[in-house]
DNA sequence: TAGATTGTTAATCGATTAACAATC
DNA sequence: TAGATTGTTAATCGATTAACAATC
């Protein structure tokens, strides 16, 4: 019933919360390795990230028995396993759609390239932007998305377009064969089950912060200043 | 036991998940108002956002009985209530720390200003950047944070600095009297209980997307390409 | 009134934590 | 061996959903 040649992957997709912690574990392990550490226990790793030790063990055990009782986890051994689980052990061909301020900033963001996300095509609808060059790439008209995506084999899209057009652009991306969208537009997107979607909603985040400040200092801030 | 003059605020802070949905409700209500709608039921609002109707009612009832049985919620009435709950019915004096690509992009991001978050001071450590002007503001040396923050009454900070220095800069922000931090550095921050923290981790988000694509097309993508 | 919809209780579901035998 | 730490089961906690009397 078990296939020894299969990759370390769960039977069912692990809960979303588990996966976001796996990202944190990986980054922490990479930092530890940089400082010469060889092994780490679940309680050490957890306390660095503010996570319960049982949770660390349970999260990792989801994917296989990677730990060594009495010793902990081998950092060098665990890193490539986690990279494989997350799917960042390969190159992801990515398009950036929308070259406003945020789009241009993300294009230069180093955190992406180092994780295997390679932006290889740019798209916009603004005639003034089409034809411009950013980070060595020429901006295409959005109309060209289907042909360019097919030609280059684009898999992911980073969406930094206005909320009003986000759904239409996402629809076009999907008919162009794109498998996953990282959405920065503050709009709820309706996509088919087969397409992966992660949304990053910056204004919502700031609202969370305002609420937290208000409740942390409950009563100390006048209601309207 | 109940004080009729008190603002619509919960006894205890509502769960984090509730608050992020309240942000979504508010934005959807603002859109509906723009299109002339007057009332909306929990099931209509929920289906626009992919949220269960009972959850919508429960989330809102957390803060008070704002609905009208048989009718739904008055959009015009609910919007200012939600703005008050989130704390975006006022101006938040905000500093931006770190003028790299992401920082400069966020400075121009329209989603912030419209929500009451006003960036009124910029800080960096790079001598080449100090003294520059962005969006009409002069970049201060980070050393000046305590004095400038006190002088201007800065309440929030947006942190777009490298991960290695994030903790030190956050510590300085807190001793400068800043009450809340929106952190974009990919590092876990350790802050006192009294300081509010929201972290936005962009590389983690892309990793979530890669994992989702992988599991959505389980087995259809070769393990290494 | 009849129909619609709320606020809330109870039921369900899922996620986190504690505890501990098994292992090195 | 003794001490440390895993993987996992059971207990706890919290969040979501269903159901429905109360209300307009």
A121 within a domain of the structure (yes/no): yes
C-alpha distance from residue B93 to each of A175, B59, B60, B128, B152 (Å)? 43, 29, 28, 26, 8
How many residues does this entry show for chain A?
Answer: 225
Is residue B128 pLDDT above 60, yes or no? yes
Q: For helices A16-34 and A53-61, what crossing angle results, to 10°?
A: 100
Residues of chain A with pLDDT under 70: 1-12, 217-225
Q: Judge if B66 and B107 occupy the same domain.
A: no
The partner residue sitting opposite A115, judged by closest CB among B23, B111, B207, is: B207
Question: Phi and psi for A95 in degrees, rounded to 5?
Answer: -105, 145
CA nearest to B22, candidates B62, B54, B72: B62
Tell which strand D nucleotides have any atom below 7 Å from a protein Cβ.
Answer: 3-9, 14-19, 22-24
Residues B107, B94: Cα–Cα separation, whole Å: 11
Question: Phi and psi for A131 in degrees, rounded to 5?
Answer: 95, -20
Q: Judge if B105 and B33 occupy the same domain.
A: no
A vs B: CB pairs below 8 A: 205
Q: Judge if B201 and B104 occupy the same domain.
A: yes
Whether the Cβ atoms of residue B74 and residue B68 lie closer than 8 Å to each other: yes
Residue span of the structural domain in which B167 resides: 92-205
Domain total in chain A: 2
B7 within a domain of the structure (yes/no): no
Q: Judge if B123 and B82 occupy the same domain.
A: no
Beta-sheet pairing, A137-141 with A196-199? unpaired
B171-199 average pLDDT score: 96
Per-residue pLDDT tens for B88-121?
999 999 999 999 999 999 999 888 877 889 999 9
CATH assignment of the domain containing B157: 3.40.50.720
Per-residue pLDDT tens for A148-181?
999 999 999 999 999 999 999 999 999 999 999 9
Mutate to test the interface with A, among B110, B207, B212, B218 (most CBs of A within 10 A): B207
């Amino acid at each position: 019933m078990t296939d020894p040649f299969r990759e370390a992957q769960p039977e069912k997709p692990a809960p979303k919360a588990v996966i976001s912690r796996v990202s944190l574990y990986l980054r922490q392990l990479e930092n530890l390795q940089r400082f010469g550490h060889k092994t780490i226990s679940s309680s050490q790793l957890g306390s660095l990230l503010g996570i319960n030790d049982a949770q660390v063990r349970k999260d990792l055990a989801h994917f296989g028995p990677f730990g060594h009782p009495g010793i902990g986890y081998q950092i060098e051994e665990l890193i490539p396993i986690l990279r494989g689980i997350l799917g960042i052990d390969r190159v992801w061909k990515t398009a950036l759609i929308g070259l406003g301020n945020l789009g241009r900033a993300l294009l230069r963001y180093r955190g992406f390239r180092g994780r295997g996300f390679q932006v290889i095509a740019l798209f916009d609808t603004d005639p003034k932007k089409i034809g411009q060059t950013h980070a060595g790439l020429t901006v295409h008209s959005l109309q060209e998305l289907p042909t360019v995506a097919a030609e280059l084999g684009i898999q992911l899209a980073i969406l930094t377009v206005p909320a009003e057009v986000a759904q239409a652009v996402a629809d076009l991306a999907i008919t162009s064969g794109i498998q996953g969208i990282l959405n920065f537009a503050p709009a709820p997107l309706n996509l088919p089950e087969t397409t992966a979607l992660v949304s990053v909603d910056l204004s919502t985040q700031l609202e969370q912060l305002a609420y937290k400040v208000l409740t942390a200092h409950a009563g100390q801030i006048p209601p309207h200043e």
